[in-house]
Amino acid sequence: MLAHYPAHRFERTTAVDTHHGVARYGWQLVGPDGSIAVAGLDVAEFAADGRLTRVVGFFGPLTGLTGLTDVPA
């Protein structure tokens, strides 16, 4: 991704939340002028020995719930 965005840098935007060998955290890709090119959320999996085994990235904000009546607010 950095090849497409020279001089940009990744910044973590949230704390790292971990649970049972899985972690999640928010990030943003910041340009040299301080503008945010893209933001997202990554989910990482760890092996039993602590090695990183997989990272899945999601781009953009999470979509809110609309029109659902069975989900508590």
- The stretch 19-30 carries a mean pLDDT of 97
Quick one: pLDDT band at residue 64, thresholds 50, 70, 90?
confident
Structural domains of the chain, ranges and CATH numbers in brackets: 9-59 (3.10.450.50)
- The stretch 9-35 carries a mean pLDDT of 97
- The stretch 47-60 carries a mean pLDDT of 96
Quote the CA–CA distance of 64 and 72 in Å, as a whole number.
Answer: 13
- Tell me the two tokens of residue 38: 């893209």
pLDDT of residue 2: 76
- The stretch 34-54 carries a mean pLDDT of 97
Average pLDDT, the chain: 91
Is the pLDDT higher at 65 or at 12? 12
69 Cβ neighbours under 8 A, 6+ residues apart: none
